[in-house]
């Protein structure tokens, strides 16, 4: 707990940290408001009221000059294409504040630690130690893996380079390995968050009986690439089929961050965040229980659907009736999805 507090932690109103003691939340909030004017990455589309930076503390680092400096030529899709890996990736510059994401205490602690180390990597390297830079995100769909990759890139002011698996996995497996190599080489020479989504598709267990020996070779080269991955980039791989990921690959990551379905308290917080710009004219938090078992994405979809209905009905707030209708629709959809997937 003490260690946790040592981190320059400034999630908005303590968001993302479960069971938070109120005093801690208040003092963090103060740090946020003192610093936010300068260091917040404002979301272009997402509202940022009360937001906080996952990486606050940047202030001291900027002064000390130890924050990795943005490269003069910012990586763009065009530049990536010119350098020969553009068709394998999608380059974006997300601007997503940390205050929008709700994380468990454990995940928040891990992510803050890695981000903090990354920013002050030089100090750690000077002592002959490695900086943690490889993370595996796992957990069910709609629980924040992709969103978190965006938040990390946004907060660290780095481009998010999303590997396009359809382009990487070639019918010639030799080509797949060479495509992966291109990506890892690119991440060595430029600062980026390299995001390998649906990682299980490449990192299938070598013992998988349905796969032949060639794919094992791809997995073996991937093992080496991950081992040698270092420098000024972060590697994030994500999967919702973690049991398919080869154990040896799993071990290569510095951190494994688990994204789970939201608890009742987290659902309440999400409902509040999602209706902060278009409010409900009733106490929305009492519906939290009815969302249990759903993902964050499903809770969000319900709120957005109720908001849309209210706008079309020329209302200036969400009515309970519109919300209940959206919730029932989402529950039905969820039941159908569960039946199909089971």
Judged by the rule CB under 6 A, the positions of this chain that interact with ligand ATP are 101-102, 141-147, 240, 259, 270, 296-297, 300
* Partner interacting with residue 143 (select from ligand ATP, Mg ion, none; CB below 5-8 Å by kind): ligand ATP
- Residue 101 or 177: the one with the smaller Cβ distance to ligand ATP is 101
271 — phi, psi (to 5°)? Answer: -60, -40
Question: What's the CA gap between 342 and 340, in Å, rounded?
Answer: 6
The binder of 254, among ligand ATP, Mg ion, none, by C-beta within 5 to 8 A per type, is none
Tokens of 180: 């992966």
> d(Cα 61, Cα 59) in Å, to the nearest integer?
5
The answer to whether 51 and 97 are in contact (CB under 8 A) is yes
| Smallest distance from ligand ATP to CB 76, Å | 23
Interacting partner of 138 out of Mg ion, ligand ATP, none (Cβ under 5 to 8 A depending on kind): none
User: In the complex, what is the shortest distance from the CB of residue 330 to ligand ATP, in angstroms, rounded to a whole number?
Assistant: 13
User: 6 or 342, CB closer to ligand ATP?
Assistant: 342
What single string gives the DSSP state of each residue in 50-72? T---TTTTHHHHHHHT-SPPPPS
- Based on its alpha-carbon atoms, the radius of gyration of the chain, rounded to whole angstroms, reads 21
User: For residues 162 and 326, which CB has a smaller minimum distance to Mg ion in the complex?
Assistant: 162
Pick the closer one to ligand ATP by CB: 163 or 173: 163
Task: Tell me whether residue 214 or residue 337 sits nearer to Mg ion (CB atom).
Answer: 337
Question: Minimal CB distance to ligand ATP: which residue?
Answer: 144
Helices 296-312 and 320-341, packing angle to 10 deg: 140
How near is the Cβ of 102 to Mg ion at its closest, in Å? 16
Within a 10 A sphere around the Cβ of 186, how many other Cβ atoms? 21
CB 184 within 8 A of CB 295: no
Q: Minimum distance from CB of 90 to ligand ATP (Å)?
A: 14
Q: In terms of CB distance, is 92 or 285 closer to Mg ion?
A: 92
At closest approach, how far in Å is the CB of 245 from ligand ATP?
A: 13
Calculate helix-pair angle for 213-228, 173-189, nearest 10 degrees: 10
The least CB distance from residue 147 to Mg ion, in Å, is 8
Q: Which residues bind Mg ion (CB under 5 A)?
A: 145-146
Identify the CA nearest to 307 among candidates 273, 334, 266, 336: 273
- Retrieve residue 67's tokens: 């924050």
């Amino acid at each position: 707990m003490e260690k946790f507090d040592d981190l320059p932690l400034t999630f908005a109103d303590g968001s993302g940290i479960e069971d938070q003691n109120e005093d801690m939340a208040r003092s963090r909030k103060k740090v946020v408001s003192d610093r936010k004017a300068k260091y917040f990455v404002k979301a272009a589309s997402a509202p940022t009221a009360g937001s906080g930076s996952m990486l606050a503390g940047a202030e001291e680092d900027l002064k000390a000059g130890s924050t990795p400096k943005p490269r003069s030529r910012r990586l763009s899709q065009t530049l990536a294409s010119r350098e020969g890996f553009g068709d394998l990736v999608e380059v974006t510059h997300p601007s997503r504040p940390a205050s929008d994401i709700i994380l468990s205490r454990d995940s928040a602690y891990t992510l803050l630690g890695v981000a903090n180390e990354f920013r002050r990597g030089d100090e750690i390297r000077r002592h002959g130690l490695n900086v943690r830079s490889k993370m595996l995100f796992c957990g069910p769909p709609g629980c924040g893996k992709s969103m978190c990759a965006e938040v990390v890139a946004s907060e660290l002011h780095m481009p998010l380079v999303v590997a396009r698996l359809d382009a990487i996995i070639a019918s010639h497996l030799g080509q797949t390995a060479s495509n992966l190599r291109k990506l890892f080489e690119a991440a060595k020479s430029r600062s980026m968050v390299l995001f390998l989504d649906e990682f299980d598709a490449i990192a299938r267990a070598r013992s998988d009986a349905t796969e032949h020996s060639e794919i094992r070779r791809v997995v073996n080269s991937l093992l080496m690439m991950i081992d040698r991955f270092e420098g000024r980039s972060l590697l994030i791989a994500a999967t919702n089929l973690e049991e398919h990921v080869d154990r040896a690959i799993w071990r290569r990551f510095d951190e494994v961050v688990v994204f789970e379905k939201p608890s009742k308290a987290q659902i309440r917080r999400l409902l509040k965040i999602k209706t902060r710009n278009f409010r409900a004219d009733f106490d929305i938090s009492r519906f939290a229980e009815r969302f249990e078992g759903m993902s964050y994405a499903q809770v969000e979809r319900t709120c957005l659907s109720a908001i849309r209905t209210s706008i079309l009905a020329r209302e200036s707030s969400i009515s309970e009736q519109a919300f209940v209708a959206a919730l029932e629709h989402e529950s039905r959809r969820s039941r159908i999805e569960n039946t199909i997937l089971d």
